[in-house]
């Protein structure tokens, strides 16, 4: 037994350390995640965006022999179980029974934050309040009498500054106090709902106390209020817990009817009003908010940023800036990485003995991974920018400014953010759809996100556009991005009006104050993205490269094809004959060089035949009829198939394919040009790359987020079909037009 337990529980057994289960609750933008990080040192994203921490994160902290097992609950404004986040938070509190709940309160916005506090108090959980952003409270001249407020609410309050880790020790001490002796540190405080309502509550509580099992399970006052509020989730829990629910429900219905008929009161409205009334009362006695004459900094910034005339241009400018930084600035470190990879490759070439293993290392692994790792700087810069936009609070403004358009397309302003993130990588973008409250919006957004051209597609664009449109590469790439956006918007509209008829979800969104992003959180965010990318390198892409190399290297031909042998013999015979007839030394030299060229061509043909013999050649030929109408050769077909692994692999597989079909000194671009692909087909190839399913990781993210194979399959099939159709129309149409 002892062995199975962790060291902490062993120590706990002898009274040395004790585990305290802590749930971290709070409004979105309350700085809950920064407190979580400050307490646990966990590495996690901080977003100044409502609902960014939908994932329930866990972490550990230690102090004075106590181990804190901390769960970071989703940010919610309330516990009414109206949204997924609220349900998660409430179910955690009800079902996991944490020892202490810490509510993080956004100090400068204390009034609305206290609404959640009252609900937590009614849930009768041991509660400690972290009054966060206390520096801002002071800076704004807000005076909070913490002792008084703590008395009025009956719970301990600790001022904290999450981003600087201030107040954490005191917070932990209060948590320990509360866990050890909740009765001493928390005073029962009740919102008084007025004489009639209290009578009704008491009546319901009476019935509840008759059913012993119910009373044991949940606080009876909380249940009574929930039932009177017609909270379906409370009703469902009550029904599950007791057989007497019918009597209870009938009584509740009577009460509700009574309130409506006699007092013209909507019970839900009444209860909410009373809670806010209580809050106002408590604040009046404990908080002084200065009469403000001046506009706050946030208001000043917003009067420009979300301005009627400037709002959209500023948005576009910021997006443009992000792009320039990502791709312009990123070009320099990319060059260094390129040089580094070349150096490693030549070093390996020197030290490794010739053979299959060397070929796998250099052509498979270094070639494949090397052509992808080069985009690490792009990804770092892009996510650096995105996390600044998020942490500063601009993302909410972006949603505010864009909602009119998004709404017209049947989406939510919040969809803008996943769509924007789609430019970086579809995987986090699909995961970001969680912040959308309605399933309809979520599904539509995650289905169209892959149409936003992700950074992994950029290497393909750069390579292909660089080859076929060297002077116009930038414009062509820009055009692809625009096409992607347009297709996404059309697809959203079509999906919204066909598969999802009906209203889109409400917009109600807080615009949090602007805050200076801390370097720590931005770097953390960037690091998380880089790690994701590098993990993809080490995993999917590494395996993909090796598999591709294998498919392209095996099976080997046993003998030289007779046709090739015959060509060699013929060439040699003709050369010898011509040589015998040659008269001048100049003519001999000419003949020699012609012969060399001819042998080289034959060798290339041999390589091509050998490659066709391999697995990959066979696959390529198998799908050739499918891609031929698009103007693609079989190599391109193969690279597109391998692109299902990850878009970057399209480039690396083209590299492997063409290196095999060519002599080694020439570089990929030359090889592709020589293979006789027209610029039109090149553009069709770019379009196909843009539109079809980005990668396995995205597919699996969609499956995970939609919780259904149906949407995943729809995503893959509609995008691939659309890609084929678009490439077909462009290529065949272009040919008809004489391009």
Tell the residue number behind the tokens 């973008």, with chain if given: 429
> How many Cα atoms are found within 13 Å in the side-chain-facing hemisphere of 689?
36
Interface pick for other proteins out of 319, 348, 473, 511 (rule CB under 8 A): 511
**391 belongs to the binding site for other proteins (CB under 8 A):** no
**Closest listed residue to residue 611, CA positions, set 648, 583, 639:** 639
**291 belongs to the binding site for other proteins (CB under 8 A):** no
| Residue 77 or 724 having the CB closest to other proteins | 77
Tell me the number of residues near other proteins by CB under 8 A: 63
Find the shortest distance in angstroms from Cβ 187 to other proteins.
25
What are the Cα distances from residue 195, in Å, to 49, 204, 562? 41, 14, 103
What the block records as the tokens of 28 is: 């979105």
Interface pick for other proteins out of 10, 56, 88, 289 (rule CB under 8 A): 289
The DSSP result for 333-389, as a single string, is: HHHHHHHHHHHHHHHHHHHSPSSHHHHIIIIIIIHHHHHHHTTHHHHHHHHHHHHHH
Find the shortest distance in angstroms from Cβ 512 to other proteins.
8
**668 belongs to the binding site for other proteins (CB under 8 A):** no
What are the Cα distances from residue 232, in Å, to 80, 81, 228, 269, 715? 9, 9, 10, 16, 34
**235 belongs to the binding site for other proteins (CB under 8 A):** yes
| Residue 145 or 349 having the CB closest to other proteins | 145
Cβ–Cβ < 8 Å for 192, 274? yes
Report the 3 state secondary structure along 218-273. Answer: CCHHHHHHHHHCCCHHHHHHHHHHCCCHHHHHHHHHHHHHHHHHHHCCCHHHHHHH
User: How many Å apart are CA 361 and CA 418, to the nearest integer?
Assistant: 37
CA angle 498, 502, 507 (to 5 degrees): 125
Looking at residues 112 to 131 of the shown chain, list those that interact with other proteins (rule: CB under 8 A): 112, 115
Find the shortest distance in angstroms from Cβ 249 to other proteins.
5
**500 belongs to the binding site for other proteins (CB under 8 A):** no
Which of 166-174, 384-392, 508-516, 719-727 is the region at the interface with other proteins (rule: CB under 8 A)?
A: 508-516
Interface pick for other proteins out of 60, 276, 481, 500 (rule CB under 8 A): 276
**405 belongs to the binding site for other proteins (CB under 8 A):** yes
613 CB contacts (<8 Å, ≥6 apart)? 555, 556, 557
What the block records as the tokens of 373 is: 């790792």
**300 belongs to the binding site for other proteins (CB under 8 A):** yes
Strands 287-288, 157-159: pairing is unpaired
Find the shortest distance in angstroms from Cβ 367 to other proteins.
48
Find the shortest distance in angstroms from Cβ 109 to other proteins.
5
Cβ–Cβ < 8 Å for 459, 374? yes
Interface pick for other proteins out of 40, 53, 71, 109 (rule CB under 8 A): 109
Q: Which x/- pattern over 519-558 shows residues binding other proteins (rule: CB under 8 A)?
A: ----------------------------------------
Find the shortest distance in angstroms from Cβ 407 to other proteins.
7
> How many Cα atoms are found within 13 Å in the side-chain-facing hemisphere of 588?
7
Cβ–Cβ < 8 Å for 99, 52? no
**371 belongs to the binding site for other proteins (CB under 8 A):** no
Interface pick for other proteins out of 264, 284, 501, 556 (rule CB under 8 A): 264
Tell the residue number behind the tokens 């070093």, with chain if given: 347
| Residue 224 or 651 having the CB closest to other proteins | 224
Which of 183-191, 250-258, 340-348, 381-389 is the region at the interface with other proteins (rule: CB under 8 A)?
A: 250-258
Interface pick for other proteins out of 297, 304, 543, 709 (rule CB under 8 A): 304
What are the Cα distances from residue 149, in Å, to 157, 174, 282, 283, 530? 8, 16, 7, 7, 44
Cβ–Cβ < 8 Å for 174, 156? yes
Looking at residues 56 to 85 of the shown chain, list those that interact with other proteins (rule: CB under 8 A): 77-78, 80, 82
Find the shortest distance in angstroms from Cβ 460 to other proteins.
35
| Residue 287 or 602 having the CB closest to other proteins | 287
- Contacting positions for other proteins (CB under 8 A): 77-78, 80, 82, 108-109, 111-112, 115, 230, 232-233, 235-236, 239-240, 249-250, 252-253, 256-257, 260-261, 264-266, 268-269, 272-273, 276, 289, 293, 295, 298-300, 302-304, 306-312, 400-401, 403-405, 407, 413, 506-513
């Amino acid at each position: 037994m002892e062995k199975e337990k962790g060291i902490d529980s062993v120590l706990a057994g002898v009274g040395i350390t004790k585990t305290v289960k802590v749930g971290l609750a709070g409004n979105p933008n309350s700085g809950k995640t920064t407190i979580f990080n400050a307490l646990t040192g966990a590495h996690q994203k901080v977003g100044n965006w409502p609902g960014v921490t939908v994932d329930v994160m866990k972490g550990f902290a230690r102090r004075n022999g106590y181990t804190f097992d901390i769960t970071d609950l989703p940010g919610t404004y309330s516990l009414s179980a109206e949204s997924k986040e609220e349900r998660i938070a409430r179910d955690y509190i009800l079902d996991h029974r944490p020892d202490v709940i810490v509510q993080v309160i956004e100090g400068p916005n204390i009034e609305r934050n206290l609404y959640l506090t009252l609900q937590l108090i009614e849930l009768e959980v041991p509660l400690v309040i972290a009054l966060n952003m206390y520096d801002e409270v002071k800076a704004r001249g807000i005076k909070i009498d913490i002792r008084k407020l703590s008395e009025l609410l009956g719970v301990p309050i600790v001022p904290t500054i999450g981003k600087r880790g201030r107040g954490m020790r005191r917070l932990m001490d209060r948590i320990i106090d509360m866990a050890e002796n909740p009765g001493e540190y928390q005073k029962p405080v009740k919102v008084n709902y007025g004489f009639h309502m209290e009578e009704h509550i008491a009546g319901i509580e009476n019935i509840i106390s008759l059913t012993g099992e119910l009373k044991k399970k949940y606080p009876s006052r909380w249940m009574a209020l929930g039932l009177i509020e017609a909270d379906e989730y409370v009703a469902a829990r009550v029904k599950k817990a007791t057989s007497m629910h019918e009597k209870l429900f009938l009584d509740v219905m009577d009460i509700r009817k009574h309130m409506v008929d006699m007092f013209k009161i909507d019970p839900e409205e009444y209860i909410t009003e009373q809670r806010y009334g209580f809050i106002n009362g408590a604040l009046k006695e404990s908080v002084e908010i200065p009469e403000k004459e001046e506009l706050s900094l946030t208001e000043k910034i917003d009067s420009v940023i979300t301005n009627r005339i400037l709002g959209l241009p500023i948005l576009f400018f910021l997006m443009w800036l992000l792009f320039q930084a990502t791709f312009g600035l990123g070009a320099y470190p990319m060059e260094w990485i390129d040089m580094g990879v070349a150096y490693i490759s030549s070093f390996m070439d020197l030290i490794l003995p010739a053979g299959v293993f060397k070929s796998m290392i250099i052509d498979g692994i270094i070639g494949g991974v090397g052509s992808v790792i080069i985009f690490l700087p792009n990804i770092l810069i892009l996510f650096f920018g995105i996390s600044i936009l998020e942490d500063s609070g601009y993302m909410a403004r972006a949603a505010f400014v864009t909602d009119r358009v998004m709404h017209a397309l049947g989406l939510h302003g919040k969809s803008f953010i996943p769509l924007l993130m789609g430019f970086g990588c579809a995987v986090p973008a699909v995961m970001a759809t969680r912040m959308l409250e309605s399933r309809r919006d979520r599904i539509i957004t995650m289905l169209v996100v892959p149409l936003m051209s992700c950074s992994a597609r950029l290497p393909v664009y750069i390579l292909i556009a660089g080859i076929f449109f060297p002077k116009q590469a930038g414009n062509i790439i820009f055009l692809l991005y625009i096409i992607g956006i347009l297709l996404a918007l059309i697809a959203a509209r079509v999906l919204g009006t066909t598969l999802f008829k009906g209203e889109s979800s409400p917009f109600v969104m807080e615009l949090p104050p602007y805050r200076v992003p801390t370097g720590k959180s931005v770097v953390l965010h960037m690091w998380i993205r880089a790690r994701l990318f590098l993990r993809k390198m080490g995993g999917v892409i590494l395996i993909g490269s090796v598999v591709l190399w294998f498919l392209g290297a095996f099976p080997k031909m046993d003998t030289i094809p007779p046709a090739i042998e015959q060509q060699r013999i013929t060439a040699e015979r003709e050369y010898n004959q011509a040589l015998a007839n040659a008269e001048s030394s100049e003519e001999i030299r000419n003949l020699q060089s012609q012969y060399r060229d001819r042998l080289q061509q034959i060798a290339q043909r041999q390589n091509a035949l050998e490659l066709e013999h391999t697995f990959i050649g066979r696959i390529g030929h198998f799908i050739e009829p499918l891609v031929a109408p698009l103007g693609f050769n079989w190599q391109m077909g193969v690279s597109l198939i391998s692109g299902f692994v990850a878009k970057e692999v399209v480039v690396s597989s083209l590299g492997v394919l063409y290196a095999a079909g060519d002599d080694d000194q020439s570089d990929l671009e030359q090889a592709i040009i020589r293979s006789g692909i027209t610029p039109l087909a090149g553009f069709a190839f770019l379009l196909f790359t843009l539109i079809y399913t980005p990668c396995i990781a995205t597919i699996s993210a969609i499956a995970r987020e939609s919780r259904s194979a149906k949407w995943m399959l729809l995503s893959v099939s509609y995008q691939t079909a659309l890609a084929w159709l678009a490439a077909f129309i462009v290529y065949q149409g272009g040919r008809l037009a004489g391009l």
